[in-house]
């Protein structure tokens, strides 16, 4: 085996252990009632139960927090696509020299710390529109900004994979209007990228804690933090379930993009 292959496998095993060991520890704490001091090799398979997770999933407060987070994910995804999709298409078709500038702009929300962004926006809206900050949906623009790097890279990868400019010029040469080309040629071929961008935004919203905590909103991450304080095992089980759901969503995105021949590394570059 070559030295490069050895190093690659060492890296793969190290990264796998880095993520797998903590998750296995979380699973044991959440689902096995045998204390660590009494855990021996012959008792590895004793005391496992999902009753804590079932109880956590039955909490009315969990349903409300999950509903809020899902609605925030939907609205943030719609807002993000409404802002970036027309811009990405226009730059791909008519101003590719501005692509680097747009890439930089979409990364700017990650340069500004969440606490600085929240404090600045809150100070502005507290005097002119206090109703905006009182609503849980005040998180939508924050999440839309935070998801910009994911969304733009997914859209850009999709536009490049279908060679959008060539399709546009071919349609124009055949006499089709720009609107017809947009809705009947480009949009159907961008379905995988739109799904990828939406799922990535949803995964971000399901795991984002800083904005919701700073604005005192009851979302799924903030609910988990409070719930774990009173029910550590059940809370850990619920947190593990959310982590696995988020990982499944990201895996679906990768599968969709690879099946459509999209550049996964470009779309996930912000990750």
For residues 37 and 104, membership in a common domain is answered with no
% of the chain at pLDDT higher than 90: 10
For residues 23 and 156, membership in a common domain is answered with no
For residues 89 and 209, membership in a common domain is answered with yes
For residue 249, pLDDT over 60 is answered with: yes
93 vs 271, higher pLDDT: 93
For residue 258, pLDDT over 80 is answered with: no
For residues 41 and 56, membership in a common domain is answered with no
Q: Look up the CATH number of the domain holding residue 236.
A: 1.10.3720.10
Buried/exposed 97-114: b ≥16 CB within 10 Å, e otherwise: eebeebbeebeebeeeeb
For residue 261, pLDDT over 80 is answered with: no
Count of beta carbons in the 10 Å neighbourhood of residue 40: 9
Tell me: the pLDDT tens digits for 14-34? 988 888 888 888 888 888 887
For residues 29 and 143, membership in a common domain is answered with no
For residue 264, pLDDT over 60 is answered with: no
Domain extent at residue 2: 1-49
Report residue 69's pLDDT band, with 50, 70 and 90 as the boundaries.
very high
And the tokens for 124?
A: 């502005």
């Amino acid at each position: 085996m070559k030295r490069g292959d050895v190093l690659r496998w060492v890296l793969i095993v190290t990264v796998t252990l880095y993520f797998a060991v903590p998750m296995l520890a979380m699973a044991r704490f959440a689902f096995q009632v045998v204390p660590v001091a009494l855990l021996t090799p012959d008792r590895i398979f004793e005391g496992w139960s999902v009753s804590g997770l079932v109880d956590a999933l039955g909490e009315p407060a969990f349903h409300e927090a999950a509903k809020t987070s899902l609605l925030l994910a939907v609205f943030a995804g719609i807002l993000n696509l409404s802002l970036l999709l027309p811009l990405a298409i226009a730059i791909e078709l008519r101003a590719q020299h501005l692509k680097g500038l747009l890439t930089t702009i979409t990364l700017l929300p990650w340069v500004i710390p969440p606490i600085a962004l929240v404090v600045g926006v809150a100070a502005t809206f507290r005097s002119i529109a206090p109703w905006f900050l009182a609503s849980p949906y005040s998180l939508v623009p924050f999440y839309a900004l935070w998801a910009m790097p994911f969304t733009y890279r997914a859209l850009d990868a999709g536009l490049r994979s279908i060679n959008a400019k060539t399709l546009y010029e071919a349609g124009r040469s055949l006499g089709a209007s720009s609107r017809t080309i947009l809705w009947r040629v480009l949009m159907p071929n961008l379905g995988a990228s739109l799904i990828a961008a939406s799922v990535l935004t949803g995964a971000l919203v399901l795991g984002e804690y800083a904005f919701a905590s700073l604005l005192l909103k009851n979302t799924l991450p903030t609910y988990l933090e409070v719930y774990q304080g009173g029910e550590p095992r059940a809370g850990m089980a619920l947190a593990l379930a959310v982590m696995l759901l988020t990982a499944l969503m990201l895996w679906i995105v990768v599968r969709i993009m690879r099946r459509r021949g999209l550049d996964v590394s470009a779309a996930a570059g912000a990750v």
